[in-house]
Structures are given as C-alpha cells and as structure tokens.
Amino acid sequence: MGDRNAPGAVQVITEPDYEAMVIGAHPDDDDFGAGGTSALWAKQGKKVVWVVMTDGVEGGEAPDMDDVDFMLAREQEQRAAAEIYGVKAVEFLRFPDGHLTNNDETRKAIVRLIRKYRPRVVLTHDPSQHIFAPDPNTEPEATGHLNHPDHRATGNIVLDAIFPAVGNPRSFRELLSQGLLPYRVHELYLFYTSLANTYVDVTETLEIKGQGLKCHVTQFGPNVDMTANLRERSAKTAKEAKEKLGLEMQHAEAFRRIKLHIPPTPADEAPTEVEE
C-alpha cells in the first residue's frame, strides 16, 4: 500500500453503496449463477446491480440473424428478468461475445462500474474453473463439459480489476476527475465453481428465478418452463451443502466466498483503557 500521508494522496473509500454487483459474461449468466441470491437480497431491501460483459450475439444457432437486433433482443430479455428479481440496475458492456479478453479496456470498464456502484460484494465467474468433468472410472455414463472462455475471461477481468486497480488511486487516473474514487470491495462470491464453500438458501426465491429464466426466449424458446430443471439442480446443490457443511436447505446456490476487507467494528476503534 502507498503512503496515505504523501502530498496529494487520495483516500480509499471502504463504505459500500450497493450490497451486490453480479458480473456475468452473457445475458442469462447472472440469472443462472446468482438469480436466486439476487432476488433474496433484493427482497431484503438490499440494492443489487447486474453487469453483462458481452453483447451475447453468439448465443444462437441462426448465423444469418442480424447482430444488432439479436443483441437488443437479449438485452431486453435480461432487463425484463432483472426486473422480476428486483435488481435495481443493469449495465451492458457489449464486448464481442466469444472473444472476451482480459486487457486494459475490459478491466477499466469494470473498475469504472465498481467505483460507480461501490458494491459490498462482487459476484462473478470462478476464473480457475476450466473443466467440469466427473471421473470416468466412477461415472462411466456421465459426460463432462468445458467452461466457456468468456466465463473464465470475465472472472479474470473482474479479479484483476478488483486488485489492484479498483482500490489504487494511481490506476486509471483519468477516472478520478470523473468522481470515480478508489474503493475497496469487501467480499467476492464466485459462481460456476467446484470449490464452493458457501451456500445461499434460495428456497423462497426459486419461483422468481424460474420466472426470470423464462424471459430468455432467444435461448430457451417461448414455451420452455425452466422451473423443473432449476428445481432439480438447486436441490442437488442443497444436498451438497448438507454433505459438505451439514446445512439444511431445500434449494441452494453455491459460491466460493473470499473475504477481502473486514471493516473495523466500533469496538476495534474505541480507545483501549489502560489499567494502572
């Protein structure tokens, strides 16, 4: 850390404004990764903002469809879903779907948004998760799958933005003059991970998540009800929570939680009494 008393030093803000910012690669990743948790926190009166990194135009199977029309349709679906969850704001960064890379431009876009909303918690893809695959020796009939490169890129962009740039007054200095001051994120929740250590009980918002997913018509068609599939998946996650941590839940979302900043409690700041 730099010298806080140096001439012209800028203080790093630690007081959050929003409770949570969910950052997904494509329209629908925020839903799948943290839709139930977002809806739960919104119900508790907490402010949640969603960010979508790419324009989502590769998420279809008709090569002749117009890119701009498709992008706008997916953004509209994502806005409608976010409204159902009670998410307060949605930001679309429109980087090209399928080609997302961790570079100055993408990191700066995330630094800008984190400094603008000052979320206590940032939820995003686990960048270390490259492959999801069961052991073929024990589960010979099951297939594995590869995590989308945009998902891994998103995780890397967000983590590299959070440290060091979001909290560093000397990173992307032009943002300071726009009032976007350095800020410290308190916690990270990583989704799409096999290293989960935290389970959120989403039983009471499961129906809402099903309604939200239904908005993504370009992805699942107009008549597909995702509720049964969602119910099955989140019950499996709850079972994992029971096995790993002894937690009792019907439906859960799983995260790898990392604490980055613990604010001092008033007791920590009180002057220590000296006994004579």
To Zn ion, the closest distance from the beta carbon of 25 in angstroms equals 5
CA 60 to chain centroid, in Å, comes to 23
Instruction: Tell me the β-bridge partners of 240.
Output: none
Q: Would you say 29 or 187 has its CB closer to Zn ion?
A: 29
Handedness of CA 243, 248, 250, 256 (dihedral sign): negative
CB of 54 to Zn ion, least distance (A): 8
Q: How many of the chain's residues bind Zn ion (CB under 5 A)? A: 3
Alpha helices in the chain (DSSP H): 29-43, 67-85, 104-117, 149-162, 206-214, 217-220, 227-245, 266-269
Residue 180 or 230 with smaller CB distance to Zn ion: 230
Residue with tokens 């850390």: 1
Q: Which of 21, 22, 25, 52 binds Zn ion (CB under 5 A)?
A: 25
Q: Closest distance between Zn ion and the C-beta of residue 202, in Å?
A: 20
CA-CA-CA-CA torsion for 228, 59, 135, 188, nearest 10 degrees?
-80
Q: How far apart are CB 57 and Zn ion at their closest, in Å? A: 13
DSSP 3-state of 93:
strand
Minimum distance, C-beta of residue 246 to Zn ion, in the bound complex (Å): 32
- 66 φ/ψ angles, rounded to the nearest 5 degrees: -65, 130
Q: Which position has the token pair 């941590």?
A: 245
Cβ atoms of residues 132 and 194 within 8 Å: yes
Q: Which is nearer to Zn ion, 29 or 31 (CB)?
A: 29
CB of residue 192 vs Zn ion: minimum separation in angstroms? 9
In the range 26-85, which residues lie near Zn ion by CB under 5 A? 26, 29
The residue whose Cβ lies closest to Zn ion is 26
From 2-10, 18-26, 139-147, 160-168, span contacting Zn ion (CB under 5 A): 18-26
Stretch that binds Zn ion, among 24-32, 89-97, 201-209, 226-234 (CB under 5 A): 24-32
CA distance linking residue 124 with residue 188, whole number of Å: 8
| CB closer to Zn ion, 149 vs 169 | 149
- Nearer Cβ to Zn ion, position 26 or 115? 26
Q: Catalog residues that contact Zn ion under the rule CB under 5 A.
A: 25-26, 29
